[in-house]
Amino acid sequence: MDYLPCVEIEPASPATAAVIWLHGLGADGHDFEGIVPELKLSQDAGIRFIFPHAPSIPVTINNGLVMPAWYDIMDINIDRKVDEEQLLKSAAAVQALIDREIERGIDSARIVVAGFSQGGAVGYQAALSYPKALAGLLAMSTYFATQASIQVNPSNQQLPVEIYHGTMDPVVPEQLGREAVTQLCDMGLTANYSTYPMEHSVCLEQIRDISAWLQKRLL
């Protein structure tokens, strides 16, 4: 099977857990590679980090420029008109990476899906519809693009969801992060929501919170 190309960071000890971390529009798998040492996780944590590269496609809101993207965005407004077919294809490709980790000996309950911006939208779809219970979903500076169509798998009805957003985000307004919490609650899920005084980015305080959450979920 053809898998998404990925940057992989192996732990010092044999891997017993995995984090599949999806980048945002126009970036690639190297974008968050440098965050791993900043998390200051134990050398014996046994967590493999996987940073997939999105395919390069034309993006309508960027005048059709070809760039790494998980799906096309046709209209830059609060409703985020997106190519859902492409998003679902990307989510399926991420689920294939989850399957591969299970084949490598990682229990699904020790696999976290994380995503920033576009990657977070794909993360919602990939994690919540996955047919085996996962360890958690980390959604950063993103929105729940498929909330109207997603079929949440019963295995992940209790999935721990952690949502982080910048209060000054000019790209994905914070309102969309809050709306995701409401949408999840309407589906019977729960989410922890935190904000930071930042724009469309990641800050030191957030990295500390990500570290604490990962330790809680995987250590």
β-strand partners of 164: 140, 194
Residue 108 known to be catalytic: no
Structure tokens at 168: 């000054």
Catalytic one of 200, 201, 209, 211: 200
Residue 83 known to be catalytic: no
CA distances from 119 to 46, 49, 56, 219 (A): 24, 15, 14, 24
Residue 200 known to be catalytic: yes
Catalytic one of 117, 129, 141, 165: 117
CB 161 within 8 A of CB 134: no
Catalytic one of 31, 72, 83, 169: 169
CA–CA gap between residue 104 and residue 35 (Å, rounded): 24
CA distances from 194 to 37, 46, 76 (A): 22, 27, 24
CA–CA gap between residue 17 and residue 155 (Å, rounded): 18
CA–CA gap between residue 209 and residue 35 (Å, rounded): 13
β-strand partners of 48: 18
Please give the positions annotated as active site. 117, 169, 200
